Amino acid sequence: MTPKDTLGRPMRDLRISVTDRCNFRCVYCMPKEVFGRDFRFLDRGEILSFEEIARLAAIFVRLGIEKIRITGGEPLIRRDIEELVAQLARVPGLNDLTLTTNGSLLTRAKAQALRDAGLRRITISLDSLDDEVFRRMNDVKFPVSVVLDAIECAIAVGLTPVKVDTVVRRGMNEKGIVDLAARFRGTGVIPRFIEYMDVGNSNGWKMDDVVPAREVIATLGTQWPIVPVDANYYGEVAERWRYEDGAGEVGIISSVTRPFCSACTRARLSAEGKLYACLFASQGEDLRALLRGGASDEAIAARLGTVWQARDDRYSEIRTSNTPSGAKVEMSHIGG
Ligand code: SAM
Ligand code: SF4
Ligand code: SF4
């Protein structure tokens, strides 16, 4: 039986972070000043093995999870990640398996290996087509051309539809919105523009840095007539828009200015096996202790159900520009 939380929301999607490490230092996610040489990342023994993740995933699916997204940190730095994909692809009852990556390590061979293992589609993050702006945002001088090649590789092996996620941050990349949209019009790739969020405690978020969804839509609308499309399913976070001329779709994720907590069906599993009921939570439930303590599947399922039924999170709906920032979990820890 699918558990429902205190606001009647079922558990439907699961995001699994497979590492807290990343080869980028995006200024809005892992700023160098915080995630520098002295930062203590998780040790190998602290993170869940693929077998542990797959066992938990199967239990989650029995409780109603239909969609799993693999994320990070950067999931492709976890060695042989395609083996995890293969294990998850075999979980009976899972309808949708996808992965979010910065694309830096997505060669043609890696894309093919992921596809062969059972991945059906992929999301690649890309903040700008302008090499200088992109390098400034990833803060490790990573060139945009490699990510553009990765998008082509994903298309070539059939990890489609490819979605391209862009975090829009005021004063950094909002001038590139039209270029990004133009580049992918008519290609089948779906660009999605995400409002910059106050996740974690280290990115120095300010409301002034957020480019509201309505501004993104207005900007696109000045170039091409666009119309809203109905959501694919209950709890879909991206608002969908399509070009009237048939050149495809764009998504807008307005977590700050138009929060969607009332339909939030997402659970999040961190790399060290903690279950978070909200992106902005400060505490997670330690599932690794259960796994390594010899708990049965039934005992773990019962615990998951109890945690979900107690869930009352709706951070974005009650956020104000002066919400005090407690010790929230970092984005790189739970993967967005
Ligand atoms: N490293 C992978 C990547 O960048 O695609 C996966 C993990 S990353 C945390 C997942 C997504 O979260 C990325 O698309 C990233 O741009 C987004 N993200 C990170 N910090 C964010 C923030 N403060 N506000 C909005 N989105 C953010
Ligand atoms: Fe790494 Fe992704 Fe965070 Fe950028 S957004 S620092 S690529 S985890
Ligand atoms: Fe879901 Fe929490 Fe985000 Fe609201 S703030 S949509 S409850 S993750």
Report the predicted TM-score, pTM, of the whole model to 2 decimal places: 0.96
Adjacent-strand bridge partners of 252: 193, 239
Assess if residue 2 is contained within a domain: no
Alpha-carbon distance of 210 to 193, in angstroms, equals: 12
pLDDT digits (tens, 9 = 90+) for 230-285: 877 777 788 999 999 999 999 999 989 988 899 999 999 999 999 999 999 989 99
Backbone angles phi, psi at 252, to 5 degrees: -130, 125
Assess if residue 1 is contained within a domain: no
Domain membership of residue 196 as a residue range: 13-334
C-beta of 102 in contact with ligand 2 (< 6 A): yes
Q: What percentage of the chain carries pLDDT values higher than 90?
A: 86
Alpha-carbon distance of 59 to 37, in angstroms, equals: 37
Alpha-carbon distance of 53 to 88, in angstroms, equals: 9
Q: DSSP state, 202?
A: S
Distance 29 CA to ligand 2 centre (A): 6
Is residue 122 within 8 A of residue 97, CB to CB? The reply is no
Assess if residue 5 is contained within a domain: no
| Helix-then-strand count for the chain, H and E | 11, 12
Assess if residue 4 is contained within a domain: no
Nearest residue (by CA) to ligand 1, atom 5, is 101
Which CATH number characterizes residue 237's domain? 3.20.20.70
Assess if residue 151 is contained within a domain: yes
Assess if residue 191 is contained within a domain: yes
pLDDT digits (tens, 9 = 90+) for 102-156: 999 999 999 999 999 999 999 999 999 999 999 999 999 999 999 999 999 999 9
Distance 26 CA to ligand 2 centre (A): 6
Q: In the prediction, which pLDDT does 172 show?
A: 96
Structural domains of the chain, count:
1
Assess if residue 116 is contained within a domain: yes
Nearest residue (by CA) to ligand 2, atom 3, is 29
Q: What are the distances in angstroms from CA 283 to CA 169, 204, 309?
A: 27, 21, 16
